[in-house]
């Protein structure tokens, strides 16, 4: 995936490119959200769109998430293909009804006679001391509730392909991008997320996990930022003579359980890395998905490296103490050996 020649893009630019390419060919697409016009999105993912497509199709909104996400549902049902932005996923609490009870369910409630082809893109993640209302992931919250696809890219190549796929999907897709991967320097970006991105439009299949590193001793499953932690940990483990396989979930809904199970069947060990709160979330689901399927393959109890069940603290030392990192993954491996 890491072609070093050619065309390295940040996730922000990859997202904007995907959106721009669809805007060019599909008149039904438009973009709506706070500060996505002149500012180009707080995270840069709509940069340049206003200039090319104008204010009718690139709409700054009032701070009225319930109204504009609800409006996107109505526009989608009326045949358009809105891409809306919820600036921080932390803000979902003011508008979740429009999301989980309407966007996600109207296809079902209408027996499929209404379609809701829209993309809800939203930023996740912490690590830069933005405090407990601006640093969350809440992956588990979105993935738990039926009716919406949920994807989370870990690099620019996937970011573009997933965005194109999301915009072309006839069902609502929640597109969760991690601030620390955006390629915005002011967010202390992870360089591994900035990769080669083909210029032409392409779509990834939604619902497929990726084995991003082959290994034989342990399977490390993660998404978004966690994939980069996992890759770093895998390198460190390799120095210890341990071969870690790394799986990038890419999509939480649908969840590609087969890929995870096949990997754990091979390695016999599972570590889940999740920046979201530990309990009742992604880490539990991955572990359950493996163990309910077959416990005989497991050589050790699965482990999780997740955010503890506390609000996200502001102070850097506290936040870093809570966040997953490569060291914690390596330690989880060590813990498995001890057990």
Partner 1 sequence: MTPSRDQLHWMYRNMVTSRRLEEAIAKIYLEGKTPVFNMANGPIPGEMHLSDGQEPVAVGVCAHLTAEDVVTATHRPHHQAIAKGVDLDRMVAEIFGKATGPSGGRGGHMHIFDPAVNFACSGIIAQGMGPAVGAALSRKVQGKPGVAVAFVGEGAVNQGGWHEAMNLAALWKLPFICVIEDNAWGISVAKAAATSVPRNDVRAAAYGIPGHHVEDNDPYAIFEVAGEAVARARAGEGPTLIEVETYRLAGHFMGDAEAYRPEGEKDGLFAKDPIPKMRWRMLTDGTATETELDAIEVESAERVDAAIKFARESADPAPEDALTSVFAA
Ligand X SMILES: Cc1ncc(C[n+]2csc(CCOP(=O)(O)OP(=O)(O)O)c2C)c(N)n1
**Which residues in the 281-310 window bind a copy of itself by CB under 8 A?**
281-285, 287-289, 291-295, 298, 300-304, 309-310
Of 58 and 231, nearer to ligand X (C-beta) is 58
Could you say which of ligand X, partner 1, a copy of itself, none residue 70 binds, taking C-beta under 5 to 8 angstroms by partner kind?
Answer: partner 1
Picking from 1, 4, 2, 20, the residue whose alpha carbon sits closest to that of residue 199 is 20
Q: What are phi and psi of 22, to 5 degrees?
A: -70, -40
Binds a copy of itself by CB under 8 A, chosen from 15, 36, 121, 138: 138
**Which residues in the 13-52 window bind ligand X by CB under 6 A?**
34
CB of 174 to ligand X, least distance (A): 17
**Would the CA dihedral through 267, 269, 275, 281 be positive or negative?**
positive
**Which residues in the 218-257 window bind a copy of itself by CB under 8 A?**
252-253, 255
CB of 171 to partner 1, least distance (A): 4
Tell me if 298 sits within 8 A of 247, measured CB to CB: no
Of 87 and 163, nearer to ligand X (C-beta) is 87
**Is 91 an interacting residue with respect to ligand X (CB under 6 A)?**
yes
Q: What angle do CA 55, 151, 309 make, to 5 degrees?
A: 110
Per the annotation, the verdict on 65 as an active-site residue is yes
Whole-number Å distance between alpha carbons of 232 and 313: 25
Of 117 and 147, nearer to a copy of itself (C-beta) is 147
CB of 319 to a copy of itself, least distance (A): 13
Binds a copy of itself by CB under 8 A, chosen from 47, 105, 115, 168: 105
CB of 30 to a copy of itself, least distance (A): 24
Residue 203 contacts by C-beta under 8 Å, 6 or more apart in sequence?
Answer: 161, 164, 165, 168
User: How is residue 107 written in tokens?
Assistant: 């296809």
**Which residues in the 251-270 window bind a copy of itself by CB under 8 A?**
252-253, 255
**Is 76 an interacting residue with respect to partner 1 (CB under 8 A)?**
yes
Per the annotation, the verdict on 134 as an active-site residue is yes
Picking from 206, 188, 312, the residue whose alpha carbon sits closest to that of residue 256 is 206
Size of the site for a copy of itself (CB under 8 A): 57
**Would the CA dihedral through 197, 203, 209, 214 be positive or negative?**
negative
Could you say which of partner 1, ligand X, a copy of itself, none residue 285 binds, taking C-beta under 5 to 8 angstroms by partner kind?
Answer: a copy of itself
**Is 99 an interacting residue with respect to a copy of itself (CB under 8 A)?**
yes
Identify the helix (H) or strand (E) that includes residue 67.
Answer: helix 65-77
Binds partner 1 by CB under 8 A, chosen from 295, 317, 338, 339: 317
DSSP string, 157-206: HHHHHHHHHHHH-SS-EEEEEEGGGS--GGG---GGG-EE--SS---PPT
Burial of residue 263, with CB atoms counted within 10 A of its CB: 0-12 exposed, 13-18 middle, 19 or more buried: buried
User: How is residue 121 written in tokens?
Assistant: 């893109």
Of 93 and 191, nearer to a copy of itself (C-beta) is 93
Of 87 and 233, nearer to ligand X (C-beta) is 87
Enumerate the active-site residues: 65, 134
**Rule CB under 6 A: which residues touch ligand X?**
34, 63, 65, 87, 91, 94
């Amino acid at each position: 995936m890491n072609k070093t020649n050619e065309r390295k893009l940040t996730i922000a630019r990859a997202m904007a490119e995907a959106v721009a390419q669809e805007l060019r060919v599909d008149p039904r697409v438009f973009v709506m959200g706070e500060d996505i016009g002149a500012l180009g999105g707080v995270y840069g993912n709509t940069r340049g769109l206003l200039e090319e497509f104008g204010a009718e199709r690139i709409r700054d909104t009032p701070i009225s998430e319930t109204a504009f996400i609800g409006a996107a549902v109505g526009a989608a049902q009326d045949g358009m293909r809105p891409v809306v932005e919820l600036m921080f996923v932390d803000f979902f609490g003011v508008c979740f009804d429009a999301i989980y009870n309407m966007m996600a369910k109207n296809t079902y409630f209408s027996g499929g006679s209404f379609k809701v082809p829209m993309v809800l893109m939203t930023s996740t993640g912490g690590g830069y001391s933005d405090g407990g209302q601006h640093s969350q992931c809440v992956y588990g919250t979105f993935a738990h509730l039926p009716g919406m696809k949920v994807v989370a890219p870990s690099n620019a190549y996937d970011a573009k392909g997933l965005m194109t796929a999301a915009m072309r999907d006839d069902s609502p897709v929640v597109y969760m991008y991690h601030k620390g991967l955006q390629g915005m320097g002011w967010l202390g970006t992870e360089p591994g997320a900035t990769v080669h991105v083909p210029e032409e439009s392409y779509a990834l299949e939604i619902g497929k996990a990726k084995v991003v590193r082959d290994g034989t001793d342990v399977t490390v499953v993660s998404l978004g930022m966690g994939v980069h932690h996992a890759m770093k940990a895998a390198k460190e483990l390799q120095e210890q003579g341990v071969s870690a396989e790394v799986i990038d979930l890419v999509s939480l809904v649908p969840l590609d359980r087969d890929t995870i199970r096949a990997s754990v069947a091979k390695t016999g060990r599972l570590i889940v890395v999740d920046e979201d709160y530990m309990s009742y979330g992604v880490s539990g689901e991955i572990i359950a998905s493996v163990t309910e399927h077959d416990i005989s393959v497991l050589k050790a109890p699965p482990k999780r490296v997740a955010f503890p069940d506390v609000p996200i603290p502001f102070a850097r030392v506290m936040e870093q103490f809570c966040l997953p990192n490569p060291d914690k993954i390596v330690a989880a491996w060590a813990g498995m050996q001890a057990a």
